[in-house]
Amino acid sequence: MRIHFLKIAIGIFFSVALFFVSCQNRKAVISAEIKKLLPEGKIPFEVLDSMEITERQTELTYKFAEAYRENMDAFNAYFEKTRNNQEAKYPENEILSENEFFEYNGFFEKGVKLLPSRTEIIEVMYSSNNRISFKANGGLAGIFSLITYHEKTNTFDLANRYTLEFIDTVNVETSTNAFQEPWKGYNWRFEYPKDMVEMPSSMETINKMTMEQYKITLGRLSSGKTVIIIELKHFQEGNWLVNVHVPIRME
User: What backbone torsions phi and psi does residue 58 show, to the nearest 5 degrees?
Assistant: -65, -45
* Other Cβ atoms within 10 Å of 53 Cβ, number: 13
Q: CB–CB of 248/227 below 8 Å?
A: yes
pLDDT of residue 204: 60
Instruction: Choose among 160, 170, 173, 162: nearest CA to 111.
Output: 173
Residues of the chain with pLDDT under 50: 1-2, 4-24
Give the list of residues 6+ apart from residue 157 with CB closer than 8 angstroms, or none: 147, 148, 149, 150, 163, 164
pLDDT digits (tens, 9 = 90+) for 42-69: 999 999 988 777 888 888 888 999 998 8
β-bridge mates for residue 168, sequence order: 187
Q: CB–CB of 154/31 below 8 Å?
A: yes
Q: CB–CB of 96/90 below 8 Å?
A: no
Give the C-alpha separation, 25 to 189, whole Å: 21
pLDDT of residue 58: 85
pLDDT of residue 131: 94
